[in-house]
């Protein structure tokens, strides 16, 4: 089977395995073993955790790139273009890269029913190998133990944070989720744990795998004094780095975890000057991304209560003038009430957006929950574009606008704003 366009390949993959998520390593490992993928002996990072994976991955990626390494990063999902899932030297991969990788996989797959994500992960590894990347930054998709990315033998594994999310797949408690995520630990390799919850489960997972555990507040820590960041590791130190004023505790923890991983990797540790240069230029699409369209549009893919609380903290620290409106949607497997609580007293006008995917909450379900919580000024929209139109009709032009709740919502609105400068 072969196709000439990337979209044709993606449509084909969606029909191979009827399950959107099929947690198992057997299928993907069988195909992986048939591919000629050359993984570097060092500088391979596997980044898991509930929140903060994207930021942590990007920090590591930019540190290696600034030092002259050829970097390759795999993240998911994408915001607007599938090509975003793999970056080579900070640039999105090409359609040609993906098509070549998909053809290689299809030639050896046989009748093994790979899922859409498994195809994506294998193709990403093939692209990074084809490009001879010196440093691999691999973001875990879901959980860890049975995620397709876990077939990679990483030099260092990271867990950024543990919080409630994807309970249907990972378990209904912090301890159960931690156990699944600890499955990315590798024998005789360090696992960096950037949280302070479920320590017993993480320790047990590392012990069972024969991994070296380094954990926050025990083996390393980071802290801020008047907007200046300090890091204390096992043997390395960072002093007096100026961080973005809008950063929340989550971003500070992500930076701390990334630095602990750099220390454990033993390739190089960034100087103060290198780290400052990275942070001065740091931005990540869809993560507290601010677009000025006459009014501030704050785009953030926060999609669980923990991420929502961090987003609220960043908004409060930014001290923006004017009231806030919010365009919002959320997937059905999320904790809706806890998410809304983070913004209940902040938002003046709400636009609830209907999404095409069956995984999304219906608008009426969200509106009913909001009514129970006493939230008013709630309007409905049939699509992301309609949400912008509805906002213009029902919110003051002086409002700042927050767009959050899911990648599927933030991506299309971001693309529209960038392409049209906000003009309908």
Fold of 6-280: 3.40.1190
pLDDT at 151 over 70: yes
Confidence of residue 212 (pLDDT cuts 50, 70, 90): very high
Asked if residues 229 and 238 have their Cβ atoms less than 8 Å apart, the reply is yes
User: Rounded to 5 degrees, what angle do the CA atoms 167, 171, 177 make?
Assistant: 95
Q: pTM for the complete prediction?
A: 0.95
Q: Is the pLDDT of residue 424 over 70?
A: no
The percentage of residues in the chain with a pLDDT greater than 70, rounded to a whole number, is 99
Average pLDDT over residues 182-203: 98
Rounded Cα–Cα distance for residues 17 and 99 (Å): 19
What is the model's pLDDT at position 421? Answer: 67
pLDDT in tens, 20-52: 667 789 999 999 999 999 999 999 999 999 999
Question: Per-residue pLDDT tens for 354-368?
Answer: 988 778 899 999 999
Give the pLDDT of residue 395: 82
Q: What is the mean pLDDT of residues 277-298?
A: 95
Helix pair 174-181, 199-209: axis angle to 10 deg: 30
Superfamily of chain region 289-420:
Mur ligase, C-terminal domain (3.90.190.20)
- Residue 91 banded pLDDT, cuts 50, 70, 90: very high
Q: Where are the alpha helices (DSSP H) in 35-163?
A: 53-66, 95-109, 116-130
Domain ranges (residues) in the chain: 6-280, 289-420
Q: Where are the alpha helices (DSSP H) in 223-294?
A: 249-265, 272-280
Over residues 59-81, the pLDDT tens digits come to 999 999 999 999 999 999 999 99
């Amino acid at each position: 089977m072969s196709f000439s366009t990337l979209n044709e390949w993606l449509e084909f993959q969606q029909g191979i395995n009827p399950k959107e998520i099929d947690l198992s390593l057997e299928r993907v490992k069988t195909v992986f073993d048939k591919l000629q993928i050359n993984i570097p002996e060092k500088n391979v990072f596997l980044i898991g955790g509930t929140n903060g994976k994207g930021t942590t991955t990007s920090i590591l990626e930019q540190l290696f790139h600034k030092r002259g390494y050829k970097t390759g990063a795999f993240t998911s999902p994408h915001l607007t273009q599938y090509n975003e899932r793999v970056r080579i030297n900070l640039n999105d991969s090409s359609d040609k890269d993906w098509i070549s990788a998909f053809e290689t996989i299809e030639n050896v797959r046989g009748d093994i029913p790979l899922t859409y994500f498994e195809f994506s992960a294998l193709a990403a590894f093939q692209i990074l190998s084809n490009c001879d990347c010196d440093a691999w930054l691999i973001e875990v998709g879901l959980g860890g133990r049975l995620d397709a990315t876990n077939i990679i033998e990483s030099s260092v594994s990271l867990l950024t944070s543990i919080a409630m999310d994807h309970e249907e797949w990972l378990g209904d408690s912090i301890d159960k989720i931690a156990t699944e995520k600890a499955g990315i630990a590798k024998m005789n390799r360090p696992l960096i744990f950037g949280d302070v919850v479920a320590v017993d489960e993480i320790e047990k997972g590392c012990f069972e795998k024969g991994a070296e555990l380094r954990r926050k507040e025990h083996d390393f820590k980071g802290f801020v004094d008047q907007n200046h960041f300090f890091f204390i590791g096992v043997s390395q130190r960072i002093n007096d780095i100026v961080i973005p004023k809008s950063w929340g505790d989550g971003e500070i923890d992500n930076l701390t975890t990334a630095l602990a991983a750099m220390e454990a990797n033993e390739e190089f540790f960034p100087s103060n000057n290198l780290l400052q240069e990275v942070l001065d230029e740091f931005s990540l699409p869809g993560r507290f991304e601010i677009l000025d369209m006459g009014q501030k549009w704050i785009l953030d893919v926060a999609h669980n209560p923990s991420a929502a609380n961090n987003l609220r903290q960043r908004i409060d620290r930014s001290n923006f003038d004017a009231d806030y409106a919010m365009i919002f949607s959320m997937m059905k497997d999320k904790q809706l009430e806890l998410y809304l609580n983070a913004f209940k007293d902040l938002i003046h006008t709400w636009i609830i957006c209907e999404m095409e995917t069956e995984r999304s909450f219906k608008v009426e379900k969200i509106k009913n929950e909001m009514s129970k919580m006493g939230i008013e000024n709630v309007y409905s929209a049939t699509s992301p574009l309609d949400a912008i139109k509805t906002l213009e009709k029902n919110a003051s032009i002086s409002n700042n606008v927050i767009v959050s709740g899911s990648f599927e919502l933030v991506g299309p609105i971001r693309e529209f704003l960038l392409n049209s400068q906000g003009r309908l």
